[in-house]
Structure 1
Amino acid sequence: MAAGTGHADRLAAALGVVLGTEGIPLRLRAWDGSEAGPLGAPVLEFRSRRALRRILWSPGQLGLSRAYVAGEIDTPGDIFAAFTALSSAGKFAEPGPFRRPTAGELLVLVRAAVRLGALGPNPAPPAEEAKVRRTGRLHTRRRDSAAISHHYDVGNDFYELVLGPSMVYSCAVWEGIPADGADGHGTGNGLVEGLDAAQEAKVDLVCRKLGLQPGMRVLDVGCGWGSFALHAASRYGATVVGVTLSAEQAKRARERAADAGVADAVDIRVQDYRDVPDGPFDAISSIGMSEHVGRAGTPRYAATLFGLLKPGGRLLNHAISWNAGVTSPDPDSFIPRYVFPDGEMISLAEMAAALETAGFEILDVEALRRHYALTLRAWVNRLEAGWDRAVELAGPGRARIWRLYMASSALGFENNLTGVNQVLVRRPGGAEPPLRRTEWL
């Protein structure tokens, strides 16, 4: 990173050592207005000395994330360009942690903080940070309920602003990259305009993979705001039980079912999937839910759903996977602190093994990694277009969390750090499925 004048040159020198930004096409702007770095490069703006103090007290991803959520660091231009520049050194592509600085690198940062007048007590974390416990048993019913509430009970109006009328909070299925996506990812209005159709295509694809027919009884695990349940009931004549741990989601899902005229066919419950008493079901959908289960809980998750399904019935598990090797969740990284407390991604192989061990037969696997990158870019576009309203609804910190999380996650999918897969399985018994997948669809 080229040197500049004023505070920016010292800031650039220190961060170039500690965060590895030396040579990255990124321009730093300091709180005194000075700049350092290549002209025309994406800008990372340090608005306050407090941002440097946060990084000093919490070196790596957590300190930088706290500064961003607090508004002490900003990306005033294209957030994807700024994060791409950082990600070119592997520094900001969620959910990969920053490398923690060595003692020597930390000393460089301390000296820079002294020169810049940034030394001081550790600033309190932004109020939006979840209180992540480091001890105690994970994924108890009470702990899972609190984690889900942290993420989903932000306000239905805020989610509708981001997700659009479809109110589907998982990967859409696109026919292709919109024409205005000249960069190969899709960046313009075509993404937003095509989002609802792509989400409808996704829920319809799930219905067809499950082989839904009129009169079938379906369990929707992690039903969200009820979009799949409404589609299955209104288009396929199914009777659906949807369970969620979010009271806000359940309220809106019931309202939507009533508005759609399918309230008699859709039963939305605030209930843990482990407590569903009225199986078995003809089919089960689990769309974007198993990421909340965790590696240790996945075998029980698979066994529970096996027990809730009739012989011959199908389960569709739609879940994000971690593609970058075996890893353990870092409670000091951005995602568990601000987005998904106790969330954990596992590999596709681990999920498939758990399902087979539970007794399921795997019928089909479909990878949708690039589809999720497009979906996330569409959500970021919607958030930025309605920024003032988003801040009004959820507060500036929460709006910034969602912007950071969705933009960096899009890069994670584009760089193949993460994937998303639909795994279709059946409980053995009953009628055999068709010979070819083309016959199901």
Structure 2
Amino acid sequence: MFRPLELFVGLRYTRAKRRNQFISFISSVSIICITISVMALITVMSVMNGFDYQLRSRILGAISDATVSSVGGESLQNWQFAVKAVDGNPHVKGAAPYVEIQTFMQAQRSTGAIVRGIDPSQEPKVSNINQHMVEGSFDTLNSDGWNIILGKDLALQLGVGLGDRVILVVPQVTSNPLTGATPRIRAFTVSGIFEMGMEEFDSGLGLISIGNAEKLKNIAGPTGIRLSLDNLDNARSIAMELADSLGQTYEVTTWMDSHANFFKAIAMEKKVMFIILSLIILVAVINLISMLMMLVTDKQADIAILRTLGSTPRSIMGMFMVQGVLVGVVGIAFGVGLGSLLSWQLPAIVKMIEHLTGVVFLSPDVYYISEVPSKLDAYDVLWVSLVTFAFSLLATLYPAWRASRTQPAQALRYE
């Protein structure tokens, strides 16, 4: 069976003899350090991916990917034409009209909030609030009654539950000779409560039917159209296409205009964490250099004999590079396996630790997300593996070069 000399000797050196047990121990330590470093980097990247995914899905689940509104900010003129125009774009997956109102709510307590008038049959195309109902039903907005669905924290602030009444005060005033200027006031019945897991929406958003919203705001037609796109990263280019097709009387904005900095900060933090933890891998690889240098010193006589038998300096380099790369590959393999397993089970492990210690790592009163998320990405695993392999390969070059420079006469002088 064909087996290159460099591979044969390199693999032979990995098997410890009694007189070089210490070198074998250092080799094992190098494998363990690389394994721990790779496992930590994969786990951290998975957690960062989990946070990015959770925040993106929760935020975009409530605000929509893009919005079409009138330039003047009033009701959308000829909105049926706008809906047909955006539906004709292949990048638009769904469109739904809406009316947005700034209101002041009164019940047992009072607070300000945004009320969004929606079409319950069209809204699931552009948001997933209907999937986050904790009480009541999303379909209650289809009825002719004056019903309202509140965020969970908003309902707690008002001190209301299902069936209770909430007074909505709209700061748009009407005036007549008898009463003068008065705001618009209307009582609504709480027919549902949702929980998005985002304080911004759970404590500041209410939903009513679009017909009731138009009556409450005294307008004919929606104030805008919310869109769902097939590619969030190309939202700006899609918005430019829609703006060109709709004309100058319509304005198209995207999620990037309101939350782009937030997601850019997460992406930047992920890159910084990758760089920092890559330095930890570099520190672990230093053990590999130390192990190979000691091995080269221990094998001086063997190297000299191989040189006298005709081995070239390049062949000697290959023998020691095989062992260094083998240590790196074994460490990468264990690190990827353990890191992937830890990333997969991390949410359950954190919950178990919280249950045993009674310590809540992410309090829902402080953080957007109350659970530690994890999302394993094969692209990140590949990058971590390649970077670690590159470090391991570079770590073998100097010791292998030193081995290739061994002079047989000097090495065998005292043997």
Q: TM-score range by the shorter chain?
A: under 0.3
Question: If each structure's helix is expressed as a fraction of its own residues, which one has the higher value?
Answer: 2
Larger RCO (CA within 8 A; separation ≥ 6):
2
Normalised by the size of structure 1, how large is the TM-score?
A: 0.20
Question: If each structure's strand is expressed as a fraction of its own residues, which one has the higher value?
Answer: 2
Normalised by the size of structure 2, how large is the TM-score?
A: 0.21
Q: Which has the larger radius of gyration?
A: 2
